[in-house]
Structure 1
Amino acid sequence: MLLLAVICILSISVVAYHYAVYPLLLYIAIRIKRLLYGKTTDVQVPYLPEVTFLVAAYNEEDFIEEKIKNTLSLHYPKELIHYIFITDGSTDRTNELIRLYPQITLLYEPQRAGKTAAINRAMSYVQTPFVVLSDANTILNSDAAILLMSHFRYPDTGAVAGEKKVISTTGGAESQGEGMYWKYESLLKKWDAELYSVMGAAGELIAVRTSVYDPLPTDTILDDFMLSFNMNMKGYRVLYEPAAYAQETASASLPEEYKRKVRIAAGGYQSMSRLLPLLNPFKYPKITWQYVSHRVLRWTLAPLGLLLAIISNMLFLIIASPESSFYQVLLITGILQLCFYTAALMGYLLAIRETKVKYLYIPFYFVFMNFAVFAGSFKFFRKKQSAAWERSKRSVAVS
């Protein structure tokens, strides 16, 4: 019984640390840093180097013209910006539509090898000191390129992450949940960057110092994640510019969102297996705590903690005597957990009926996201996750 109580308390503690205590400690660390060194007021000093805007697209005929028009309308000196679109493997009208715009360099090979392989190939054509990577299904604000480039005036900046904004067009759980999740992630990203570096940039919008980019293994699932931490391992920071943002619509349905989350989780396990040196705080003292607390726990002990907490809690209450010193404490935690999972179940039942109850989406999406982590880990260990990106169906595109 004591063992069950210990397992339950440790499991709850891990989950609480990851989702609540770490953000609190991160904020405290930032406040201490501000007291010691003063608050960083990053005034956007104009810095306009030559830059290449790179987009990897696969069968995007329904959205590619909107993406092109948005790209060409970015506020940046026209003589200093170049455009490359790479569409390897595309079989629809994407190439035909891109060829209507002579200012864009189109790279195409019939063989589809995945997004990472496409970006590696495209980067060999980049002749500028900086490159902005943007997903084909996103719309950027007009000042995005200028804002991202302003941070490269610092020589230790290896990359700059933009903001991802999820646009809700249906109001469903997949859009409400993803939107709330990204608000939480954006806050952590802001604090992570202020302390030292972003813990993994979102591939929807990221600017890179070309000379620091190393080709990634072509079977890489999360290219943006690996790119960010490769920069860190070389001693470069990945900064954050929330005013430069990429808008995209949420997944079209819960099954599509689930497929996307499973792929991300499988990619997370692959990335962790390739970033083992980052677990050594003596070698990477500036990054290990943030990396483990924000990323490693997200895909390992936090989901496992959720599962062990409810199982051990229920078993303890069944087996233990009500007179046990731990009983009353675990009775309360058990009731709270049951209430939470009941709310998640209600959120799920309402979600599949497309009924909007916003506050039930929070527990539902939380459980949904962690369940996808388990599925993604199984896919990784069984080597069932392909590096070739699978286009998740999205709701109506933003304009």
Structure 2
Amino acid sequence: MIIAFWLSLFIVFYAFAGYGLVLFILVKIKRAISGKPVIPDAVNLPTCTLVVAAYNEERFIAEKIQNSLALNYPEGKLKLLFVTDGSTDNTAAIVSTFAQVKLMHSDARSGKIAAVHRAMTEVDSEVVVFTDANTFLNTDAIVNICRHYADEKVGAVAGEKRVHIDETADATAGEGFYWKYESKLKTWDSELYSVVGAAGELFSIRRELYVPVQPDTILDDFMISLLVTIDGYRVVYEPDAYATETASQNVKEELKRKIRIAAGGIQSILRLKSLLNPFRNFVLSFQYISHRVLRWTVVPFLMILALLLNILIVATCAGCCFYWFMLICQLGFYGMSLLGWYFESREMKVKIFFIPYYFCMMNYAVIRGIFRYSAGKQSAIWEKAKRQ
């Protein structure tokens, strides 16, 4: 029991904090040997198409187009393509009023990935950048992304997701903290070798490397970006290209989004089995398993196992004061999470409880997502989370 207890705690700790420490050390060693990576100059930038798949985004779409038109990029090298398939509001009508934007619209709603596949048949540029309709890019985002394609081994570039939290934010303040931590891990991942997956808020790929994923793919952005690594290309992280969006309206909305991501995560692991083979690319497999696979598979169950084993140990071991201390720490952590849930449900701001609450909510979502995918209940057609 004691061995299983410590092994469970170690894996949980490693997946969320230990990997970050190991990554930090490996990056420091790499810098000592070969120096800091040199970012290419923004010269001779490739032609680029910005693709936005929008479904019923009439609230944001005009502002999104204005934001896109304001992006810095060499004249004549950037095209804007908006796909509004299935939208039943005024999204398509609003897009059609902008002459600088190409509109693709179909009344049928087949899901985001079907819309993206359709858009890609019209893309003839060297690079394609994908971004969401409800996120807004910094002015130099496309320049900062596309400069990396001067390196022929770069197959995709992931931008940074930033979550804007207002003063009245509830437990979704944990969302902002989580993405700041994730951004740091991705920076180190990229410097060591490659980012293991991009977020759909902002990422890009060489047009020639785009592989249409299966129509039922849940995390199309994750799959599309990682498929390039199978062919030996890297995915680079560019924190100076960022997409900003507001946090989920509440934890219920964030939970809905996280369950979908978890279902997509287990689907992706099953479909990207070659990345689990360390003999193909040891460093990439190490990054992929450490950063993604552990979190999306065993960690939530090991958290439960560690608590149950801790209870059994103190119940059967007289004088095990240290394990009593460990049990009190675990119960205290989960107690803080329950208090976070209690205060959030009553719209009370006690931010000290938000991070443990968000952490537990994420892992609960993984369990829900695994069972939902196993039951075949997760559709690839996306349903937007309500935002603040």
Task: Please confirm whether the aligned pair reaches a TM-score higher than 0.5, indicating the same fold.
Answer: yes
Q: Deviations over 1:351-370 (max 9, x none)?
A: 11222222211111101110
Aligned to 1:155: 152
Q: Deviations over 1:96-125 (max 9, x none)?
A: 000001121111111111111111111111
For residues 202-241 of structure 1, the aligned pairs below 5 Å read: 202-241=199-238
CA distance in 1, matches of 2:42, 2:353: 44
CA distance in 1, matches of 2:91, 2:8: 49
CA distance in 1, matches of 2:385, 2:167: 16
Aligned to 2:355: 362
1:175 shift after superposition:
2.9
1:170 shift after superposition:
5.3
CA distance in 2, matches of 1:186, 1:352: 29
Quick check: 1:188 aligned with 2:185? Answer: yes
Q: Deviations over 1:189-241 (max 9, x none)?
A: 00000000111111100121100111111111001111121011111101011
CA distance in 1, matches of 2:263, 2:167: 28
Asked if the contact 1:50–1:81 (Cα under 8 Å) also holds between the matched residues in 2, the reply is yes
Q: Deviations over 1:131-174 (max 9, x none)?
A: 11110110111111111111110001111111100011353334
The one-letter code of the counterpart of 1:160 is V
Quick check: 1:110 aligned with 2:107? Answer: yes
The one-letter code of the counterpart of 1:181 is Y
CA distance in 1, matches of 2:101, 2:201: 19
CA distance in 2, matches of 1:88, 1:16: 43
Aligned to 1:141: 138
| DSSP 3-state at the match of 2:282 | coil
The one-letter code of the counterpart of 1:216 is V
CA distance in 2, matches of 1:126, 1:87: 16
CA distance in 1, matches of 2:282, 2:111: 34
CA distance in 2, matches of 1:43, 1:358: 41
The one-letter code of the counterpart of 1:105 is K
CA distance in 2, matches of 1:312, 1:210: 51
Identity of aligned residues (%): 48
Runs of 4+ that moved beyond 3 A: none
Aligned to 1:349: 342
Quick check: 1:6 aligned with 2:28? Answer: no
Q: Tell me which of 114, 118, 125 is aligned to 2:122.
A: 125
User: Which moves more between the two structures, 244-253 or 328-337?
Assistant: 328-337
Asked if the contact 2:154–2:234 (Cα under 8 Å) also holds between the matched residues in 1, the reply is yes
Show structure 1 runs of 5+ residues with no match: none
Asked if the contact 2:340–2:357 (Cα under 8 Å) also holds between the matched residues in 1, the reply is yes
After TM superposition, the score normalised by the length of structure 1 is 0.95
Q: Deviations over 1:330-357 (max 9, x none)?
A: 2221111011111111111111122222
Quick check: 1:65 aligned with 2:58? Answer: no
1:44 shift after superposition:
3.8
Aligned to 1:321: 317
1:25 shift after superposition:
0.9
Quick check: 1:167 aligned with 2:160? Answer: no
1:53 shift after superposition:
0.8
CA distance in 2, matches of 1:389, 1:337: 36
CA distance in 2, matches of 1:329, 1:15: 19
CA distance in 1, matches of 2:160, 2:366: 23
CA distance in 2, matches of 1:83, 1:44: 24
| DSSP 3-state at the match of 1:286 | helix
| DSSP 3-state at the match of 2:347 | coil
Asked if the contact 1:47–1:146 (Cα under 8 Å) also holds between the matched residues in 2, the reply is no
1:92 shift after superposition:
0.8
Q: Tell me which of 379, 383, 388 is aligned to 1:386.
A: 379
User: Cα distance 1:132–1:220, how it changes in 2: closer, same or farther (>3 A)?
Assistant: same
For residues 180-329 of structure 1, the aligned pairs below 5 Å read: 180-318=177-315, 320-323=316-319, 327-329=320-322
The one-letter code of the counterpart of 2:283 is K
Asked if the contact 2:260–2:369 (Cα under 8 Å) also holds between the matched residues in 1, the reply is yes
CA distance in 2, matches of 1:201, 1:47: 25
RMSD: 1.2
1:72 shift after superposition:
0.7
1:242 shift after superposition:
0.4
CA distance in 2, matches of 1:27, 1:271: 26
| DSSP 3-state at the match of 2:163 | strand
Aligned residues: 388
Asked if the contact 1:8–1:309 (Cα under 8 Å) also holds between the matched residues in 2, the reply is yes
CA distance in 1, matches of 2:322, 2:178: 30
| DSSP 3-state at the match of 2:162 | strand
Aligned to 1:23: 20
Asked if the contact 1:174–1:251 (Cα under 8 Å) also holds between the matched residues in 2, the reply is no
